[in-house]
Amino acid sequence: MNGVFLRIREVDLYQRHVTLRLPFRFGAATVTQCPQAFVRVRAEVNGLSFEGASAELMVPKWFDKSPALTHEQNFEQLRESLRNAREAMLACSESLTPFALSQSAGEAAVAVSVARGLPRLAAQFGAAVLDKAVADAALRAVDRGWVHGLRAGVLGDPWSGQLPLVQPNEVTLRHTVGLADRLTDSDPGTDPADGLPATLEAAIRRYDLHHFKLKLCGQIDPDVERLTRIAAVLQRLGGDYRVTLDGNETFTDAASLGHFWQTLLETPALNGLLSRTLLLEQPLARAVALKESIASLGIEVPVILDESDDHAC
C-alpha cells in the first residue's frame, strides 16, 4: 500500500482543565493542575471525509524552563504553538501524505513559532500534536491500526514499510517516581483516599512493578538521601528491578555532573541501585548538553537527550 494522500479541511482545538490526582514534581516545577489540549481534524481522502484526534497535557516548565515565566505563560506558549500549527495545516491546499504534510506544514509552523519568540521545543509541540491527529485520520481512512498501518506504509514516510514491525503481546510498565512522591505509607503527604496507591511501595504491591524512572533534583545531599530511601524500598519489594535516572536538565555543566555521579558511586547504599541503572536521561541543561563532553566523567551507563531538541540545529 502507498501512503494515504489527504487534504485537511478542518482543525478544531479544545482544552479541558485537569487536576492531577497527586502532586508531581520534576526539575523546576511542581504540577498539581494543567490544561489538556485536544485536536480534531477533518481530512478528505478520495472525496470522503475522515476524522482524526489527539490529545496532550500542556505541562509547565518542561518545554521552557525559564523561571521568569509563570505556569500560565507556559500554557499560553503551547496554545500559540497549536494555533500556528493549525494555521499552517489549513494553509496547505494540496493532498499530501501525513509524512509530507508534517515536513511542509509542520516545519512551517515551527518556523513561525520560533520567529515569534517561542523556544524550538515549545514550537514543535503544536506540530507534533497535529501530526498525531492527521496520522489517526489516515489510519481510519484505510481501516488500519497503528502497527498494521505503519507496516503498510500508510503514513508515507520512507522507513516504516521496510521495518520488521511486531505487535507485542505484553508491555513493561515503567513507573515514574517524582520528587514529591511519597515513598512509604508512613511518609507525610497527599493521600486522596480513593482506593488507589498513593506511595511507591503501595504501587509496587498493587501493580507488581519492576521498572522505575527516578527524578533527580541535581543537588547532591537531597538526591543521595532520596535515592538511598528509594533503593531500600526497591530492594525490599522490587524484585529483579531496573531503574532509569532522569536529570531534567538540573546540571549546568559537565563538571558538576561528574562530581555528582562520583558521589553516587562512592555511596555504598546505592551500589545495588546503580548496578541496575539502565540509563541517565538529560542531565545537562539543553543550552550546554550538545557542547560539553561527558566522555571523561566515568558514567558507565548510556546518557540520552530529549529536551535538547531545540538546540539540535
User: pLDDT tens for residues 81-135?
Assistant: 999 999 999 999 999 999 999 999 999 999 999 999 999 999 999 999 999 999 9
11 and 131 assigned to the same domain: yes
Burial of 47 (0-12, 13-18, 19+ CB in 10 A): exposed
pLDDT at residue 307 in the model: 67
**Which CATH number covers residue 249?**
3.20.20.120
pLDDT-derived band at 311 (thresholds 50, 70, 90) equals: low
260 within domain boundaries: yes
Q: Is the pLDDT of residue 313 over 50?
A: no
Give tens-digit pLDDT for 160-189: 888 887 878 999 999 999 999 999 999 998
Q: Which residue has the cell 516545577?
A: 29
d(C-alpha 94, C-alpha 77), whole Å: 29
128 and 211 assigned to the same domain: no
Round the average pLDDT of the chain to a whole number and report it. Answer: 94
108 and 199 assigned to the same domain: no
Domain boundary among 130, 162, 194: 162
Conformation bin of residue 122: beta by default, left when phi > 0, alpha when psi is -120 to 50: alpha
Query: Mapping DSSP to helix (H, G, I), strand (E, B) and coil, where does residue 84 land?
Result: helix
Q: Pick from 110, 56, 71, 64: which is nearest to 249 by CA?
A: 64
**Which CATH number covers residue 21?**
3.30.390.10
pLDDT at residue 309 in the model: 56
Residue 40's φ and ψ, nearest 5 degrees, are: -130, 125
178 and 50 assigned to the same domain: no
pLDDT at residue 184 in the model: 97
Domain boundary among 162, 190, 209: 162
284 within domain boundaries: yes
Give tens-digit pLDDT for 261-310: 999 999 999 999 999 999 999 999 888 888 899 999 999 999 998 766 55
d(C-alpha 67, C-alpha 168), whole Å: 41
